[in-house]
C-alpha cells in the first residue's frame, strides 16, 4: 500500500469528520445569536464551509479510499469493508442533509444538537473497522 496515498486518505477523512463537527457547532451557535445580522453572517460562513471545504475534501477521501481498496484487493478481504462503506454512506448522507438544511435555513435546535453524537459514533466505528479489520 502506498504510504503517501494512505496519509492523504487519513488526513482527508479526518478533515471530513472535523468539518461535520464544525458545521454542527456553527448551527448551534447560529441558533443562539441574538442579532439577525450575526445569524446571516454565520449562515453565509456555514454555506461556504459546506461548499468549499466539505465537498472537495470529501471527494479526495472517497477517491483515495476507492483507489487503495482496488489497488490492494481489499474488496475481497471480508465484510469489514462493506460495513465501513455502509457507514461512510450514512456519514456522507448526514453531511449532505446538513448542507441542505443550512441552504434552506430550516435548522432546528434538537436535531442540531444530536448531530454531534451521530458524527462521533459513525466516525469512531469507521475508524475502528479500518484499523482492526475485525471480520
Would the pLDDT of 71 be above 90?
no
pTM: 0.82
Indicate the DSSP class of residue 73: T
Residue 41 banded pLDDT, cuts 50, 70, 90: confident
Return d(Cα 31, Cα 88) in angstroms, integer.
28
> What does the pLDDT look like over 73-90, one tens digit per residue?
766 666 888 888 899 999
User: Which pLDDT score, from 0 to 100, does residue 88 have?
Assistant: 92
Count how many domains the chain has.
1
Would the pLDDT of 4 be above 90?
yes
> What does the pLDDT look like over 84-116, one tens digit per residue?
889 999 998 888 887 777 777 666 667 777 888
Q: Under a CB-based contact definition with an 8 Å cutoff, are residues 104 and 19 in contact?
A: no
Q: Which long-range contacts (CB under 8 A, 24 or more apart) does 127-135 make?
A: 129/80, 129/81, 129/83, 129/84, 129/87, 130/84, 132/80, 133/77, 133/78, 133/80, 134/80, 135/78, 135/79, 135/80
* DSSP letters for 16-43: HHHHHHHHHHHHHHHHH-S-HHHHHHHH
Q: How much is the mean pLDDT over the chain? A: 84
Residue 63 banded pLDDT, cuts 50, 70, 90: very high
Residue numbers of the domain that contains 60: 3-132
Supply the angle between the helices 3-32 and 36-49 in degrees, to the nearest 10. 160
Amino acid at each position: 500500500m502506498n504510504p503517501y496515498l494512505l496519509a492523504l486518505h487519513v488526513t482527508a477523512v479526518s478533515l471530513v469528520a472535523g468539518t461535520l463537527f464544525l458545521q454542527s457547532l456553527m448551527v448551534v451557535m447560529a441558533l443562539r445569536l441574538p442579532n439577525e445580522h450575526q445569524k446571516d453572517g454565520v449562515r453565509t460562513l456555514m454555506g461556504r464551509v459546506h461548499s468549499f471545504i466539505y465537498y472537495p475534501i470529501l471527494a479526495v477521501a472517497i477517491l483515495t479510499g476507492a483507489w487503495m481498496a482496488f489497488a490492494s484487493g481489499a474488496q475481497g478481504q471480508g465484510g469489514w469493508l462493506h460495513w465501513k462503506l455502509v457507514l461512510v454512506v450514512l456519514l456522507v448522507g448526514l453531511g449532505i442533509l446538513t448542507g441542505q438544511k443550512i441552504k434552506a435555513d430550516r435548522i432546528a435546535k434538537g436535531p442540531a444538537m444530536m448531530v454531534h453524537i451521530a458524527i462521533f459514533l459513525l466516525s469512531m466505528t469507521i475508524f475502528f473497522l479500518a484499523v482492526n479489520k475485525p471480520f
